[in-house]
Chains A and B, each alone.
Chain A
């Protein structure tokens, strides 16, 4: 039995594209994606909270969709494109969301914020003008123990409004 466990502990080489850069690293099959990002790649913006898919702090984008980094193993992501909060910050894709979170005190300790931003980013890419109920529904899998959520919903709604106004301005003639 012990030799089987030894086999299972053997590292596997995985390659993926993280925030636009090709990386390779050695992981044990049981290492979750969030552990791999934080420990092997030192991308600590993705937070490990409950480690069972309940709190949403570990959300990353896998091939463009938000997924829990704790609910898949790094080895499963071999060949995939992963974007973390670091990548989305550097690209400027969520700069307006980040500014609005800051302006409205939509974070206090900040532990939940990376997951909140990745979730909000996906929501606003699907729905241009979500209702407050739709925003709350989308955030139902992200826990925040500081803010009471109201400021987070405000911030996301404000960014949705601002983006819609900008789009209609750009779309209108003259």
Chain B
């Protein structure tokens, strides 16, 4: 349970961190909150030669409005999701998801950028990037670029972030007064990984759902949008028939993998139950 020996570099700018990474011959890991990385090092699932600490890079901090976007620095800690007034006002789905992320002491240290960059398919925040139509800002060799969440998650723990690149910020379209959110998850115990979880963002008009984005986690190798269920609900008033139709459509959206703990059929069933509950809540809010 001890990490393999490594050397340590405390970076003070994104360029400094990226240069240290390049010098290592790409045998390095960036550490932000470290709440997933340190156990992986202790278990020797990972054994980099150099650990590059990005916690002291000032430009990765802070939450601010940037035109129609809310810009959330990659080092924003999970506990700040619960207390930051800008997040409460302009990204309430992240506020709603935050209490479900691990335990309080983990939330004091874990970061949004780290969670999104790791892309654990059982994590809350990566899936919420899909529901929010967020964009991920990445610093690479050719400067900064922004990748839509829909194009960011590629496969199990694989994202659009290339070797040596750093997630610098998350950009979320600012929440508007005609929008509604819902979030919930099913877990055996609070703070455990969810058996299945879901968050959604709807844009409403006159009691109708104009558009909706529904994202699931703990359902496969990547956080997954339920596009067929979205199509059933979009442009409609959510009633009991519509909810049943959306639940039936989940067959086409989700294909949970075989697992010893939760058989695929059970996970799909739980996803339907959760979708039904959340759409019922959404119908009251619309």
Instruction: List A residues at the B interface (Cβ < 8 Å).
Output: 4-5, 7-10, 12, 28-30, 32, 51-53, 56, 59, 62, 65-68, 70-73, 75-76, 78, 119, 122-123, 136-138, 140-142
Contacts and interface: CB of A to CB of B under 8 A. Distances in A.
Contact of A67 (B7, B43, B105): B105
A9 B4 CA distance: 9
A116 B190 CA distance: 17
28 contacts: A8-B5, A8-B7, A29-B6, A29-B51, A30-B41, A32-B38, A51-B42, A52-B1, A53-B106, A59-B105, A65-B79, A66-B105, A67-B105, A67-B108, A71-B35, A71-B39, A71-B109, A73-B34, A73-B51, A76-B8, A119-B105, A137-B99, A137-B190, A140-B191, A141-B102, A141-B104, A141-B191, A142-B103
Chain B contact residues: over half helix, strand or loop, or mixed? loop
Nearest to A27: B8
Given A52-B43, A53-B106, A71-B34, A30 B49 contact: no
A32 B99 CA distance: 27
A138 B103 CA distance: 7
A78 B10 CA distance: 10
B2 interface: yes
Nearest to A71: B38
Contacts, number: 97
Interface of B: 1-8, 10, 31, 34-35, 38-39, 41-43, 49, 51, 53, 55, 79, 99, 102-106, 108-109, 189-191
B191 A73 contact: no
Contacts of A66: 104-105, 108
A29 B104 CA distance: 26
Contacts of B2: 30, 51
B1 A51 contact: yes
Nearest to B102: A141
A63 B132 CA distance: 32
Nearest to A122: B104
Given A51-B1, A140-B191, A76 B53 contact: yes
Nearest to A69: B105
**Chain B CB within 10 A, most for which of A9, A59, A76, A123:** A76
B217 to A, nearest CB: 19
A25 to B, nearest CB: 15
A16 B197 CA distance: 40
A62 B10 CA distance: 18
A8 B49 contact: yes
B35 A65 contact: no
A57 to B, nearest CB: 11
B189 A75 contact: no
